[in-house]
Chains A and B, each alone.
Chain A
Amino acid sequence: MEAPGQALGSSGYGEVDHSADRAYRIWGPDLGALLSSGARALYDLASVQADNGREVERSIQIDGIDRESLLIGWLNELLYILGNDGVAFRQFEFLELTDRHLRARALGVASRQVPKDVKAATYNSLAIRSSDRGLEATVVFDV
């Protein structure tokens, strides 16, 4: 069952139950929106806000072998930037986006917020599927 999360137009995320870790269903009309929803789910899990701190802009590039590995690579990259640099992003512009490659311009903030301990986004039961919401996936995070 999906707990209330956040819907942003036709994109959104919501937490779902998982016995040991934390899982979020994410959705969006297209791959870019799905990736953005995944980022917001990650920040929700880590309990960080992306709107209060020193403004930061970053370029992010990820390569994968398919959409799922692109999504996991993307989320783990954001997780690394959050943990290492304290930076969370609120806005993404995908300059290049295919099923195996992305280059994005990310706008956010660097702050002193201490994120909750999230080890990684995992491939557990991961499949990006088409639905009436566009694209959907359930991502399990190891915490």
Chain B
Amino acid sequence: MPTKKDFHLLDECLWELPTSYHPGMTVPVWLVADEGLLEDALEDLSLTQAVNVACLPGLIGRVVVMPDVHQGYGMPIGGVMAANGSDGMISPGAVGYDINCGVRLLASNIEYRGVEGLLGDLSTALYRNCPSGVGEKGHFPLSTQELEKVCAEGSKWALRRGLGWEEDLRRTEEFGCLQGADPARVSPRAKERGRGQIGTLGAGNHFIEVDVVERIFDDRAAEVMGLSPGTLAVQIHCGSRGFGHQICTDYVQDLQAAVGKYRISLPDRELVCAPLDSPEGRAYLAAMKCAANFAFANRQVLASLVRRSFEEVMARTSSHWDLHQVYDITHNMAKMEEFDLEGSHVRACVHRKGATRAFGPGFEGLPEEYRQIGQPVLVPGSMSTSSWVLLGAPRAMEISFGSTCHGAGRRLSRARAKRQVRGDQLRGEMERQGIHVRAGSMAGLAEEAPQAYKDVDRVVDVVCRARIAIKVAKLRPVAVVKG
């Protein structure tokens, strides 16, 4: 395991573990952290895992680790790697089981003070309308044929059914659909799991949260995004459900044989991979895109159910209850992107696992209204703590393949959290803080207790000090819905 003395400071909140640390490393590891978060990261195996990633063939630049890093399986959560577009690898373990787990933010003109008394009813409506929890089926059961359309169309599938607005797609990463998805690369088993799950939240750390915009840091960006102090906003955090999980499971298993075939030396079998330009690599990428598009559609359907809930409750007192989309981001994905790296223009398959794309101004893949300011980055905290809206920054393109953090990052295991926290007591504490809670499982609530996570304010401060993101707004929770 690396120690603190193996790292040297490159710049403010940027550390390097050089390739001399381990003979197998082909690129260094760069860690975005203050000294305290570096010490935290050394307490589990996350940096050892980052070293393992840095030993993969075909990488360019560096492996980057965010300040919210924690131990995962294969790639740490909070990791970014870039595989050379010509001879690099693609790895399902460096994307994660929950393909396109991500966050959508909706904003409103609803003043919190005027509707505080309605939040209990709103929470109940959200819990009722948005299916959550293990085994819960969605309101839109799909035939296999229809599921394959979801795979091909992403958010647009939902739009065609009247479940959203054009603006929603424009304000979604990749406009809500990755091109090149191929449902023929997805197993019948994965399709069977996905057919009943579109428009469902799931469980674990997935949630719908109603927030108040507490403080604005960048007036111009906030105005463009439609964020005003004291108004309500809604976050939706979920991914590709059992569909994506099964795709990852299938390919992690199937690619075990590819490692031998292509003579790849793996420090960790969960980093199983295949050359991008191989039948196995192309098959996984095409299947991953199906899961990604399913997740985009999933959040689109959930957004329509959130809007329905707001209409049910808020329309009693106001005609201005509507929710407009700020942005939708992914934090588990592999995508072909282009960068200027050490004087050369390169095309790479950027794998982000628990990290968020954070492109700065001028990127053509943003809707026109965001091209001048940069991409919104959504960073949810843990329950009862702040969440953040940031902007991507130019320096992210220089040091982190256009990436930044994704959340608070776990510091306690789920088992330890449940031993330290009682779910019903936590709910009581949150309600005393003025946060309405609707949760299907008290044990699940305990696992997601704020003390199980790092300090998100500190994580955000660090990425901003490292200049890979810029603060726009801070949000405070007033209602949480969980499975």
Q: Which residues of A contact B (CB under 8 A)?
A: 3, 15, 17-22, 64-65, 68-69, 72-73, 76, 80, 83-84, 114-117, 119-120, 122-126, 140, 142-143
Contacts and interface: CB of A to CB of B under 8 A. Distances in A.
A114 B45 CA distance: 33
Given A17-B415, A19-B44, A124 B253 contact: no
B204 to A, nearest CB: 6
Contact of A19 (B93, B133, B204, B412): B412
A21 to B, nearest CB: 7
Contacts of B428: none
Given A3-B415, A123-B269, A65 B71 contact: no
Contacts of B77: 20
Given A80-B246, A83-B242, A143 B74 contact: no
A65 B97 contact: no
Contacts of B98: 119
Interface in B258-285: 260, 268-270, 272
Given A123-B268, A125-B268, A19 B410 contact: yes
Interface of B: 44-45, 70-74, 77, 93, 97-98, 133-135, 189, 192-193, 202-204, 242, 245-246, 248-249, 252-253, 256-257, 260, 268-270, 272, 410-416, 483
A69 B270 contact: no
Given A123-B268, A126-B269, A80 B189 contact: yes
Given A19-B44, A73-B253, 17 more contacts: A19-B71, A20-B70, A21-B72, A21-B73, A64-B253, A64-B256, A69-B253, A69-B256, A114-B133, A117-B202, A119-B97, A119-B245, A120-B248, A122-B73, A123-B93, A124-B74, A142-B97
A114 B135 CA distance: 7
B413 A19 contact: yes
A4 B133 CA distance: 28
A20 B412 CA distance: 7
Chain B interface, DSSP helix/strand/loop, else mixed: mixed
B120 to A, nearest CB: 26
A76 B413 CA distance: 22
Given A3-B415, A142-B97, A65 B257 contact: yes
Contact of A76 (B192, B249, B257, B416): B249
A20 B354 CA distance: 12
A76 B253 contact: yes
A31 to B, nearest CB: 18
Contacts of A124: 72-74, 268, 270
A19 B270 contact: no
Nearest to A143: B204
A117 B204 contact: yes
Contacts of A19: 44, 70-71, 410-413
Nearest to B206: A117
Among A15, A19, A83, A122, max chain B CB count under 10 A is at: A19
Contacts of A76: 249, 253
A107 B263 CA distance: 40
27 contacts: A18-B71, A18-B413, A19-B411, A20-B70, A21-B72, A22-B415, A69-B256, A72-B253, A76-B253, A80-B189, A83-B193, A84-B192, A115-B134, A116-B203, A117-B134, A119-B245, A119-B249, A120-B249, A122-B97, A122-B252, A123-B93, A123-B272, A124-B74, A125-B268, A126-B269, A140-B73, A142-B245
Contact of A84 (B193, B270, B415): B193
